[in-house]
Structure 1
Amino acid sequence: MKLKNLFFLIFAMFSLSSCLNSDLEDLPEYEEANITNVTKVVHRYYDESNKWVDGSPVVTEKNMASLTRTIDNTAKTVIINCSVPPADATGSYNAAEKAKVSKTNLVVIFDISPAAIIVPLNGSPKLGVPGDWSAPRQYEVTAANGTKAVWTVTLNLTP
C-alpha cells in the first residue's frame, strides 16, 4: 500500500508541475470596440402547421430580405435597411404571418470585435431575442483591454 502511495505522489509531482518558464512575453490585448457586421434580421413566429409531439407549435424564423448595412466606425453608428420578404404560399410564412412583421418584434444579430462584449443600453433589446427597433437603439461595446464605445443602431424596415 505504501508503494502505491509513493508512486501516486511521484506521478502527481510530475503531472501537476508546469513546463512554462517565467518572464513570458505578455501578448497585446485587443483594443477594438466595434460592431463589425449585422449578421441577420429575422422575424420569429409560431408555425401552427408544424407541431411538436406534445402538440405545441414549432418556433420558426424568416430572414428579412434585401438586408444592407452601413457601419461607420468613426461615428459609431450602424444603419440597417431591410424589407419584409414575400409570403410563401406553400409554407407557414403566409400573408397573415407577413402582416404581423413590424419593427417592434424583430431579432437582430451582430458581429463584434474579437474578445469584446456588447451590452444593451437605455432599454435596447437584447441581441438574439425579439425586440422593439422602432427607434434608434444604443449598445456599449467593451474591448478586451477595457476600451468602451457606445454605438447607435437604426433599423429601417420596408413592407
Structure 2
Amino acid sequence: MKRIQIIGFAAMILVLLNGCLKKGLPEYESWDVNNIDNVYVEYRYESGKILNDKPVVAYQRLNVQKNVVANSNTIELSIDVPQASGTFTEEVRNKLMQNYLWMYMDISTAAKIAPIGSAPKLGDPVDLTKEWQYQVTAANGNAKTWTIKVVSFKK
C-alpha cells in the first residue's frame, strides 16, 4: 500500500511539473530604454527624537533642477537648499555640506542601474562636489553610461 502511495505521489509531482507554462504565454514588449528620468537629492540628519533608545533619522529633500545634455548622456544638477522648517532647523541647515548627501533616481521601466568605478551605490552617502558615472541597463541588455554632475549648489 505504501508503495502505491509513493508511486501515486511521484506521478502527481510529474504531472504538476510538466504543467508549467511553456506555451501560450503572451509576448511582451522587449524594454529597450535605459534612461535616468529624474534625480533627487536629500540630506539626512538626526531629528532629535528617540525611538527604542536610538535617534530617529529625518531627511530634507533638496530642490533640484536637472538639465540633460543630449549628446553626452550627462545630467547637470542645480541644487538649492530650502529654508529651515520643522526639525530642519537653521543649525541643521548650517551643517549641510555638498560632500555628504544622498542621491536617488528614477530610471526607465524594467532597467537596472549600477555605479561605475568608485561611484557610490544609490542609497549610500555621496560627495556631490565630484561627478559620478552610472550604467543603466535596459531589460533587453542595452546599456548606457550616464554622468551626474552638480553645476550649481546654493545654500
The TM-score range, normalised by the shorter chain, is 0.7 to 0.9
What does residue 11 of structure 2 align with?
10
- For 2:26 and 2:7, the matched residues in 1 are separated by 37
- Residue identity (%): 30
Aligned CA-pair RMSD: 2.4
1:98 positional shift? 0.1
1:24/1:59 Cα in 2 relative to 1: closer, same or farther (>3 Å)? closer
1:25/1:97 Cα in 2 relative to 1: closer, same or farther (>3 Å)? closer
- Map 1:79-98 onto structure 2 (within 5 A): 79-88=76-85, 91-98=86-93
Tell me if 1:114 matches 2:115: no
- Map 1:126-137 onto structure 2 (within 5 A): 126-137=121-132
1:24/1:50 Cα in 2 relative to 1: closer, same or farther (>3 Å)? closer
Q: Deviations over 1:7-51 (max 9, x none)?
A: 21232121111354569787664332221222x21001122x201
- For 2:52 and 2:23, the matched residues in 1 are separated by 58
1:34/1:73 Cα in 2 relative to 1: closer, same or farther (>3 Å)? farther
1:19/1:129 Cα in 2 relative to 1: closer, same or farther (>3 Å)? closer
Does the 8 A contact of 1:64 with 1:82 survive in 2? yes
Q: Deviations over 1:30-74 (max 9, x none)?
A: 332221222x21001122x201222x2111111113x22222443
Tell me if 1:51 matches 2:47: no
What does residue 102 of structure 1 align with?
97
Amino acid at match of 1:79: E
Larger fraction in helix: 2
What does residue 143 of structure 1 align with?
138
Aligned length: 153
Does the 8 A contact of 1:105 with 1:132 survive in 2? yes
Gaps of 5+ in 2: none
What does residue 34 of structure 2 align with?
33
